[in-house]
Chain A
Amino acid sequence: MDVFFQQLVNAIVLGATYGLVALGYTMVYGIVQLINFAHGEIYMLGGFGALTTYLALPSGTPAGIALPLMLVGGIVVSVTAAVIMERFAYRPLRSAPRLAPLITAIGVSVFLQELVRNFYPNAKAARNFPQLVNPDYQVKLGSSVQISAPQLLTVVVALVGMVTLSTFVRRSRTGRAMQATAQDPDTARLMGIDTDRIIVTAFVLGAALAALAGVSSGLQFGQVDFHMGFITGVKAFTAAVLGGIGNISGAVLGGFTLGLVEVMATQYAPDPFSGGAWKDAWSFVVLIIVLVFRPTGLLGERVAARA
């Protein structure tokens, strides 16, 4: 049973990362119906932004100061990239047929990966990420169930990010404007909402959360890599669809569900198909099953289908 609980802990940690990235997909999709394929790269840029910040700090900076600065650095890089991307790649195509921005998104995704691979120093292989939070420090949750400090940090950061976002969207004026734009952009504009600004806000919030995920995964695994955004991005999108795309609580729920499926399938799937080699395949199998039986996702989508 201990194995099960230990895997449950791992699933929650993994799900927290997926959930954070999925929020960005779901917000942008909810408002402009765009699968922002490059969102996974925003997550990756967050990790590299934090790494850059760390390298710029004088050596010997205490972790208590370096860590918040790294988070800020990661967020700044991710948000800047997202704003530029929205302005120059997506906005000109807003009235184009839907295939056009999706293809642009694939282009941006390839571009950002290659940009980091070619121009970030020594980024052709994975780069070491500073182990500011000691991964050997384990918090005991039971007789043999434990969670490492970076994992704990990931969960805490994710929960804080999710709660903040949810409060922001429900309570603040801008948040309510976001909801209005998601429901009906034309009417929202008639009501005096600057929809362009709202769309940028959705990109910014999504990028900030993705950066948090990027930094915490760097802390967990001790490295960042130009390619890390692709598979995480695809899975986070899966999580968003799983929860019901356009639905903010759905993205979080979808993230945790996907994390659970992945970890448990790796542990308990029938013999030849268990183990790390198959974990990605299982996530997609679950996605297909969910779409067959509950195409609107677990919590149902908030946006109406538009022709």
Chain B
Amino acid sequence: MTTQTVTETSGARTAPDLGVLLTGAGAVLLAVSAFLPWAGYAGFPGKMTLSGYPGGARLYVLLLALPALALLRPVAGRAAALRAAANVELAVVALTVYFVAYAGGGFVNVGGGVYPAMIGAVLYVVGSRRLPATEAVAEGMAFPDASWRFPVESLVVAGTAGLALWLFVIGLGMPISSIASGSDLTLGPLSINDVANSGQFLAYVITIAGLALVAGRLGLLKSLTIMTGRHPKLFVAAGFIAAAAFPFTQSGSGESLSIAARIGVFAAAAVGLNIVVGLAGLLDLGYIAFFGVGAYFGALVSGSVTSVTGVHLPFALTIVLGGLVSGIFGLLLGAPTLRLRGDYLAIVTLGFGEIFRITVNNLDGSAGPSLTNGPNGVSNIPDLALGSFNFGANHTLFGIDLSFQSNYYWLELLLLAFVMTSFLRLSESRIGRAWVAIREDELAAAATGINTTRLKLLAFALGATLAGAAGTVNAHVVKVAAPDSFTFIESATLLAAIILGGMGTVPGALLGATVLYLLPEKLRFLHDLRLLVFGIALVLIMRLRPEGLVASKRRAREFHEHETDPAAEAVA
């Protein structure tokens, strides 16, 4: 509905193109294989032994074969879209076959559906490469100005937000046998189940990315961008309503909610860091320390029995004060160093991060004054209570059971909404434009009358304040504040999240935070190699797509200054 149809000019309908034939044959084989059994043993997720039921990874195979329907009509961008679909399809088939064989103890244990799938995938790839590439590049299109434009567009926009959330929820809800924290390196032995689940999750992520790529090649994403750009508030509102409705789908279980809540706080911190790094261009390598300042402050005034202060402040006051205390640290640290060149800030913030970790580790009464309980941290933080509403109890709303985790999930959602609003309002303000000017060229910015030192300090302190506020909330969610959670690798992961997602954009930070938080939890088959993969990924992202997955237009141009190919900026 949103793509241009290219009318065939000549009536040359003599023989179908070889590429069209091969692609079609491949897609049909793949579709058939999705209804055949893929595993010769029970236990692989998605009931892979059943025939006539396209479950698990077979559904992804089917979905990725669907774009071949475009063969029936020569739509714009068809060849590019099918090439993308075919490549991703091949990857998904290969990956799934590998994991089915690996988890089943050998290739002999795969099911009969695997063979047509492999042949089909190869045909699909070969055929799509031979497709005539004469069609026009797909352009985004908006609806004509009609009276029915608004309802249709708002439906599409709201539907997109809902769809995104729904896909996220599916990914989150996929079975994992046990939850490992992101920095936990000592995992137990792997079970077959872990391997199989990791494989299915990986196939899921690749499929989503592939379908997004196909939609992009067909121009659907551009149309969507135009529409969401016209109704930004609706889009955000729909997203938040969908996110807020998430606990109602969990039927009283809290496992996914607690992961989602942690992603939320991680994302909030990433958005906060995005103000410092993405907008103002200040490299902060110790951001997690500001988060930690807030967390420890929150823990110390929570009324926990392990807190030496014994103070119990109201939670609303705690958030504000935690943010302020962290912001003051930001001012103290930023004031002397922000006058200097950027690299010094990187090393000073790194130093501050280490000092913070060492200090809270030492303030245990033996190596220093007693304040933080040293390596054990401040634990047993009591549940929040607002009036008679106890956050630690399960509730029932509209007849639906809600586990207590949903209370914390909503709290995180509020926090995230607040941080995102701050970011967006700031980035569109005079201050935000000044930050971008400083990031692009500090000398030129100063020459136009921007007080660069003061504005840099503002960005730095503001980032610290948001991190502190997020930290106080997080302390109450995870119920403990301990030095181990505030190491350099955490700061690096946050930084990597906004770089992967795209610097200076909110969706980028959200996407990056989600991916970087979920991948280590879901990819348990990588086991000890997770950090190794993390390191390689950082290097590769910087090589291949330094502007991130969701690039702001300005940044994409900055990184591709010397390239004239607009296609490089068009994707995603």
Contacts and interface: CB of A to CB of B under 8 A. Distances in A.
Contacts of A292: 336-337
A110 B489 contact: yes
Nearest to A38: B535
Nearest to B537: A107
Contacts of A275: 367
Nearest to A101: B542
Given A284-B351, A288-B348, A291-B344, A278 B542 contact: no
Given A96-B559, A288-B337, A307 B362 contact: no
A307 B441 CA distance: 7
B369 A111 contact: no
B531 interface: yes
A300 to B, nearest CB: 14
A29 B339 CA distance: 20
Interface string B532-571: 1011111100110010000000000011001000000000
B343 interface: yes
Interface residues of A, number: 51
Interface in A92-106: 92-93, 95-104, 106
A237 B538 CA distance: 22
A277 B369 CA distance: 13
Contacts of A104: 538-539, 542-543
A107 B536 contact: yes
Contact of A118 (B348, B528, B558): B528
Contacts of B558: 97
Interface string A281-300: 10111011001100100000
Chain A residues touching B, majority SS: helix
Contacts of B503: 99
- What band does the interface of chain B fall in when counting residues whose beta carbon is under 8 Å from A? 35 or more
Interface stretch (B71-79, B306-314, B352-360): B352-360
Given A110-B534, A238-B347, A291-B336, A89 B539 contact: yes
Main DSSP-derived SS at the B contact region = helix
A92 B442 contact: no
B348 A291 contact: yes
A271 to B, nearest CB: 9
Given A107-B542, A111-B532, A307-B441, A278 B368 contact: yes
Given A99-B283, A100-B546, A272-B367, A110 B347 contact: no
Interface stretch (B24-32, B89-97, B492-500): B492-500
Interface in A111-147: 111-115, 117-118
A285 B342 CA distance: 19
A305 interface: yes
A106 B441 contact: no
B531 A110 contact: yes
Contact of A108 (B337, B354, B539, B562): B539
Contacts, number: 138
Nearest to A275: B367
Given A118-B528, A118-B532, A305-B341, A93 B358 contact: no
Of B346, B499, B538, chain A has the most CB atoms within 10 Å of the CB of: B538
B340 interface: yes
Interface string A179-207: 00000000000000000000000000000
B281 interface: yes
Given A241-B347, A281-B359, A288-B351, A110 B367 contact: no
A33 B336 CA distance: 22
A280 interface: yes
Given A96-B559, A278-B362, A291 B337 contact: yes
A99 B281 contact: yes
B350 interface: yes
A241 B488 CA distance: 20
A83 interface: no
Interface in A1-43: 29, 33, 35
Contacts of B537: 107
B443 interface: yes
Name the residue in B333, B355, B496, B503 with the highest tally of chain A Cβ atoms < 10 Å from its Cβ: B355
Contact of B488 (A230, A237, A284): A230
A284 B352 contact: yes
Contacts of A281: 354-355, 358-359, 362
A261 interface: no
B358 A277 contact: yes
A272 B529 contact: no
Interface of A: 29, 33, 35, 89, 92-93, 95-104, 106-115, 117-118, 230-231, 234, 237-238, 241, 272-273, 275, 277-278, 280-281, 283-285, 287-288, 291-292, 295, 305, 307
List the 6 shortest-distance A-B pairs measured between CB atoms, nearest first. A107-B538, A111-B535, A284-B351, A110-B535, A114-B532, A292-B336
Interface of B: 277, 281, 283, 333, 336-337, 339-344, 346-348, 350-352, 354-355, 358-359, 361-362, 367-369, 441-443, 488-489, 492, 495-496, 499, 503, 528-529, 531-532, 534-539, 542-543, 546, 558-559, 562
23 contacts: A35-B347, A93-B543, A93-B546, A96-B542, A99-B277, A99-B283, A103-B495, A108-B535, A110-B489, A110-B538, A114-B529, A234-B354, A237-B347, A272-B367, A275-B367, A281-B355, A284-B355, A287-B347, A288-B333, A288-B351, A291-B336, A295-B340, A307-B442
